[in-house]
A = this chain, B = another copy of it.
Amino acid sequence: MVTIKDVARLAGVSISTVSRVINDSKPVSKEVREKVVEVIKETGYRPNDVARSLVTRRSYLIGVIVNDLSSSYVAEMVKGVEEIGKMYDFDILLCSSYYDKDAQLKYLRLLDRKQAEGLILIGYKYDKEIIESVKELNKPTIFFTRDLIDDTLKYVRIDSKSAMYEMTNYVIKNGHKNLLYISDYIDKSTYENEKIQGFKDAANDNEIVKYEIIEVEGRKYKEGYKFGEKLSGRDFDYTAVVCTNDDIAYGIMNALFDNDIKVPEDVSVVGYGGYKEGKIIRPSLTTISEPYYDIGAVAIRNLIKEIEGEEEVENKIDLPFTLIKRDSLNNIKK
Contact = CB atoms under 8 A, between A and B. Distances in A.
Interface in A289-318: 293
A247 to B, nearest CB: 9
Of A68, A78, A94, chain B has the most CB atoms within 10 Å of the CB of A94
A35 to B, nearest CB: 22
Interface string A251-284: 0001001100000000000000000110011100
Nearest to A74: B75
Of A75, A92, A93, A112, chain B has the most CB atoms within 10 Å of the CB of A75
Contacts of A94: 78, 82, 91-94
B83 A79 contact: no
Contact of A54 (B46, B51, B78, B257): B51
A33 B96 CA distance: 34
Given A54-B54, A75-B72, A83 B110 contact: no
Interface residues of A, number: 47
A134 to B, nearest CB: 14
A122 interface: no
B280 A257 contact: no
A293 B69 CA distance: 11
A112 to B, nearest CB: 6
A115 B47 CA distance: 10
A69 B47 CA distance: 29
B70 A82 contact: no
B93 A91 contact: yes
Interface in A65-91: 68-70, 72, 74-76, 78-79, 82-83, 86, 91
Interface string A86-127: 100001111110100000000001101111000000000000
B68 A59 contact: no
Contacts of A72: 70, 72, 75, 276
Contact of A50 (B46, B54, B258, B293): B54
A75 to B, nearest CB: 4
A187 interface: no
A181 interface: no
Contacts of A59: 50
A48 interface: yes
A217 interface: no
A136 interface: yes
A50 B254 contact: no
Q: Which 5 A-B residue pairs are closest in the complex by CB-CB distance?
A: A75-B75, A69-B79, A49-B113, A92-B94, A50-B53
A250 interface: yes
A235 to B, nearest CB: 24
A45 to B, nearest CB: 11
A115 B258 CA distance: 54
Contacts of A218: none
A242 to B, nearest CB: 19
A232 B330 CA distance: 26
B221 A280 contact: yes
15 contacts: A44-B136, A49-B113, A50-B115, A69-B78, A70-B72, A72-B72, A72-B276, A83-B98, A91-B94, A91-B95, A91-B114, A93-B93, A250-B280, A280-B280, A280-B281
